[in-house]
Chains A and B, each alone.
Chain A
Amino acid sequence: MNRSPHIITIARKEVKDASRNSLFLTLAFFLLALTGISILVASFAFQSQVAQYHAALSQLSPAQLQSIVLTQPAYYPLQMLRGTVEYLEIIGAVIALVLGYLSIAKEKGNNTSRLLLTRPVTRNELMGGKLLGASVMLGTLVLGIGLFTVVAISGIGHVGFTTSELIKLGLVLLYTFGYLLFFFCFSAALALFISDLPRALMLAFSLWLVFVLIIPQIGDTMDPDNQVPGGFFAHMHMTQNGQEAVIGQFKHYENLRNALEVSSVEKHYERLSFATLGIKTMYNDKSLGFIMNDKWPDLLVLLLFLGAGIALSYAGMSNKRIMAASP
């Protein structure tokens, strides 16, 4: 018996179901619209920075220009993607949760799981097929957003991408795919482990709320530099060395803040993506080797989360559980 056709048949069914699901399609188009909005907003915000720079320049006398250094805002297309990455973190995760939930709920709700298990299909094939189907759907979604991003930025900014920028964008799309697949597995596993399906969905959402929105938000608002608009240390005219010397005296507080942030998979994905795209300015225009030398722990944690998610979803796929909630 050739095993692979079973997986492919199940994957094909998953893709067919998802592409016919109005909720999934609505959320996917919503995310695409959000990508467009965030690129548009970033472009106008950049134009506004340039206008402010020119306005400041025109108000300074030649004598003042010699003593005051004004830095002209520089355009980097990948930096326009901050909002897009943030929407992928938040809404992308919701789409993956919905997809994971629907993938299991429809089998339990329609009683098709009982029928499916009468066929010579193993539980691993069933989960493998579901994962493959989800990978195709999430991969298409991520690729679609990537292509839309390239077209939108080239169209709005009239600036093409260099090969290096395209590779970096491709890498971020790959991280996004892994991040979304984790949420798919997580939600599918909850729907398998918890027999009450609406409860499983709400638990998935509650955990999304805690780990994607609340915990990173606490870490961010606890940052002393975020207590003053424009930054506390900039307000105090502190140099980088001075800032480090002062913060060094509050190591326990900083460690607690960092520990909160790194407990969320979202923060690892964000740090990795922001560094690769150069949104975090110290990594802007740097080689991938330089970025990875610093950011490999975030990549490792992202992969560990993904591995744990896949393992959990396979562990949940037992005959007893897949049939547990069948009415």
Chain B
Amino acid sequence: MRKDVPPLVAVIVRNEWRALLREKTFLLLLGIFLTMTFFSVYIGWSTRSTTNAIYHASVAYLATQGVTNVIPNPLDGVSPLLVFDNMLIYILLIGALLAIVIGHRSFIRERASGVLPLTFVRPVSKARYAFAKLLGIFLALAGVVFATYSVSALSALLIPALHLSGIEFLYLLGFYAASFLYLGIFASLGLLFAIVSRNESTALFIPILLWVAVVFIIPELTTGQNPVALLNPVTLANAFPDQGKFFSLMSTIFGPISIGQFYTRSALDLLRSNGAALVVPLGALLAYLAATTGVSAYALGRHTSANDLQL
């Protein structure tokens, strides 16, 4: 009997993949995400090269006005990986919604089709079922993140003027690994609220409201930046809580739960090829991922006992 259990876990994991690839919502969001990933490198590179050209045109203009003591180009010495900084925004926006959909649909699908009681006809414990379910979700998410990394790397290679070293490709991989931690939190939340809420719309909207809080409300309260300004990676990189007592207080209160800021701090450091200050934000992301996954696993075990099994 023990021999049968591991294949059953594999069956549940494989089923997650198959069912997900049949989900039109998932495929639509994935299509948008990968398309934006492909174009983000070009957008970043084109913006940077145009700004460089504008700098030289500005220097020439200032020279005609008799100004010779010109400020050095602010883009000199900036990490080439920062052409990917728009990806940070797409991960905050599209990636998080995609992760919520992955987690949400994973449970809603099974509840709607009524396969849960059938699953437990087989010799599988609730703990093993929860493990397989979460493994399936995280493997699907890892697949999405790896596909995104591959598209980013490929589009970078297609721009001849953009030369990335091997180390920089590794930092880019690190950026996507940090993104996986951030997205994993939202996938777990999508799963958690799908389990605990009987209403499908409410189950989808609660994690979306939490996402609004993470992306817009908390950063606004702690930095004083307006919501749309927080969708600009340059503003995001320079949004520090240094504007007085109110923002310092908000920062103290909301700092420990600023999942979005933990992610942006670590992601921007990785894009700057700077690994020195990564421990705290990455550790915080990992802790949140462990906590949300743990709570989801617990909820999965509890709710499959009575309501959903209908035994």
A contact set with B: CB distance below 8 Å: 22-23, 26-27, 30, 34, 37-38, 41, 44-45, 47-48, 51, 82-83, 86-87, 89-91, 196, 198-199, 202-203, 205-206, 209-210, 213-214, 216-218, 220-222, 224, 226-229, 232-233, 235-238, 242, 245-247, 249-250, 253, 270
Contacts and interface: CB of A to CB of B under 8 A. Distances in A.
Given A213-B231, A222-B47, A229-B234, 11 more contacts: A22-B202, A23-B201, A23-B205, A45-B224, A90-B216, A199-B25, A214-B36, A226-B232, A228-B74, A229-B238, A232-B74
A246 B54 contact: yes
Please classify the interface of chain B as helix (H, G, I), strand (E, B), loop, or mixed, using the class held by over half of its residues: helix
11 contacts: A41-B221, A44-B246, A198-B25, A209-B94, A214-B93, A218-B43, A222-B43, A232-B54, A246-B58, A250-B50, A253-B46
A205 B244 CA distance: 37
Contacts of B43: 218, 221-222
Given A23-B201, A37-B217, A242-B61, A236 B55 contact: yes
A219 to B, nearest CB: 10
B142 interface: no
Contact of A221 (B62, B93, B233): B233
Interface residues of B, number: 55
Contact of A236 (B58, B94, B220, B247): B58
Contacts of A247: 54
A232 B51 contact: yes
B32 interface: yes
A83 B47 contact: no
Given A216-B228, A217-B89, A221-B47, A38 B220 contact: yes
A26 B74 CA distance: 45
B58 A238 contact: yes
Nearest to B65: A242
A86 B226 contact: yes
Interface string B191-219: 00000000001100100010010001100
Query: Interface centre among A22, A27, A246, A249, by most B CB within 10 Å?
Result: A246
B50 to A, nearest CB: 5
Contact of A226 (B24, B224, B227, B234): B234
Contacts of B247: 44, 48
Given A22-B202, A47-B244, A229-B238, A237 B232 contact: no
Contacts of A217: 86, 89, 93, 228, 231-232
Contacts of A199: 24-25
Interface in B58-114: 58, 61-62, 65, 70-71, 74-75, 86, 89-90, 93-94, 97, 101
Contacts of A89: 228
Given A48-B224, A83-B220, A221-B233, A210 B32 contact: yes
B32 A229 contact: no
B280 interface: no
A280 B124 CA distance: 62
Contacts of A227: 47-48, 51, 74-75, 234
A45 B231 contact: no
Contact of B212 (A48, A91, A232, A238): A91
B243 A45 contact: yes
B28 interface: yes
A91 B233 CA distance: 21
B71 A235 contact: yes
Contact of B243 (A34, A48, A90, A249): A48
B29 interface: yes
Nearest to B93: A213
Given A48-B244, A218-B43, A242 B220 contact: no
Contacts of B231: 213, 217, 220-221
A45 B244 CA distance: 8
Query: Interface centre among B90, B97, B237, B244, by most A CB within 10 Å?
Result: B244
A26 B205 contact: yes
Contact of A242 (B55, B58, B89, B202): B58
Given A48-B224, A221-B86, A206 B29 contact: yes
Given A48-B244, A83-B226, A209-B97, A203 B234 contact: no
